[in-house]
């Protein structure tokens, strides 16, 4: 029998400000084989890099959402501090319901912000990292993408759409006010090292600051 969690219990011994990060990951059938193996390896690196940074380990919170199946969205890892983050092993199969996945991601962001506020915890703007090798194919994904752009325009979230070779970058770009990033080959390791260093930079900053991100050609700075 599972033991119910007590909302806010994670803040009793750790009252640091939080930097929330949503990993919205494409687990459709086209990711099977080496792409998924490399993605899972990248998640392991991400977790370890955050734990190696004493401040980020206590301030960054991560949740992992996968999209796949017929129209399936799963929260594989509920919100957890980076120091306790154990990356799930993702299995590939099915379709690419990115619109539904993004709606779940935005709901998670809203709910977690309410938890922070209720417990007197300050936080930087949440990041949503969306990674896909294809195109959203669930009904109504365009409306979900529009909601996502509005949330970003209202400064409630920062969205980074990332595609591998073969992804529909026009479609992925509709989920953000920024241009999507193209991953060269299967460089998930490099991507997650960049993400962990970015999270470390953000977690050490003050909410509302503008920060410079680690070297990248299209995401030079971001408001937090």
The predicted-structure confidence for 155-199, as pLDDT tens digits, reads as follows 999 999 999 988 999 999 999 999 999 988 888 999 999 999 999
Among 184, 160, 180, 190, smallest CA distance to 41 is for 190
Instruction: Tell me if 217 is assigned to some domain.
Output: yes
Cβ atoms within 10 A of the Cβ of 80, count?
A: 15
User: Does residue 72 lie within any of the structural domains?
Assistant: yes
Give me the residue label for tokens 């929260």.
Answer: 75
3-state secondary structure of 51: helix
- 93 with 69: CB under 8 angstroms? yes
- How many domains are contained in the chain? 1
Across the range 17-36, mean pLDDT stands at 95
Q: Which residues contact 200 (CB under 8 A, 6 or more apart)?
A: 50, 53, 55, 56, 60
Residue 123 lies in a domain: yes
Beta bridge partners of 66: 25, 74
Q: C-alpha dihedral over 55, 58, 59, 63, to 10 degrees? A: 130
- Indicate whether 39 pLDDT > 70: yes
Query: By the 8 A CB rule, do 128 and 109 touch?
Result: yes
Buried-state track 152-168, b at ≥16 Cβ within 10 A, e below 16? beeeebbbbbbbbeebb
Which of the pair, 15 or 157, is modelled with greater confidence? 157
Output the average pLDDT for the chain. 89
Percent of the chain with pLDDT over 70: 91
Question: So what's the pLDDT on residue 7?
Answer: 55
The domain of 212 spans: 16-223
Distance of CA 112 to the CA centre of its chain: 14
22 lies in some domain: yes
| Token pair recorded at residue 102 | 């993004």
Residue 145 CB coordination number (10 Å):
22
Contact status, residue 36 vs residue 76, Cβ threshold 8 Å: no
Q: pTM of the prediction?
A: 0.91
Would residue 121 count as lying in a domain? yes
Cα(86)–Cα(190) distance, rounded to whole angstroms?
A: 19
Q: Is residue 104 part of a domain?
A: yes
Q: Is residue 9 part of a domain?
A: no
Q: What digits encode the pLDDT tens for the residues 112-168?
A: 999 999 999 999 999 999 999 999 999 999 999 999 999 999 999 999 999 998 899
CA–CA separation, 115 and 80 (whole Å): 13
Q: For the chain, what's the residue count?
A: 224
The C-alpha angle 29, 64, 153, rounded to 5 degrees, equals 100
Q: Is residue 55 domain-resident?
A: yes
Q: Which CATH number does the domain housing residue 23 bear?
A: 3.40.50.410
* 122 HSE (CA, 13 A, CB side): 10
* pLDDT at residue 6 is higher than 80: no
* pLDDT number for residue 218: 43
């Amino acid at each position: 029998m599972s033991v119910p969690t007590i909302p806010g219990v994670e803040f009793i011994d750790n009252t640091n400000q939080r930097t929330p990060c949503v990993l919205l990951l494409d687990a459709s059938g086209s990711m099977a084989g080496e792409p998924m193996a490399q993605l899972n390896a990248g998640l392991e690196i991400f977790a370890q890099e955050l734990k190696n940074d004493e401040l980020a380990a206590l301030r960054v919170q991560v949740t992992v959402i996968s999209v796949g199946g017929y129209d399936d969205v799963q929260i594989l890892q509920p919100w957890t501090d980076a120091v306790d983050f154990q990356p799930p092993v993702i299995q590939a199969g099915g379709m690419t319901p990115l619109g539904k996945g993004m709606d779940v991601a935005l709901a998670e962001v809203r709910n977690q912000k309410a938890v922070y506020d209720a417990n007197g915890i300050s936080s930087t703007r949440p990041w949503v990292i969306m990674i896909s090798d294809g195109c959203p194919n669930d009904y109504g994904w365009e409306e979900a993408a529009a909601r996502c752009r509005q949330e970003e325009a209202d400064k409630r979230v920062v969205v980074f759409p990332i595609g591998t070779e073969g992804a529909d970058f026009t479609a992925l770009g509709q989920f953000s006010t920024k241009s999507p990033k193209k991953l060269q080959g299967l460089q998930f390791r490099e991507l997650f090292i960049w993400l962990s260093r970015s999270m470390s930079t953000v977690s050490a900053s003050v909410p509302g600051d503008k920060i410079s991100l680690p070297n990248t050609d299209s995401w030079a700075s971001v408001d937090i």
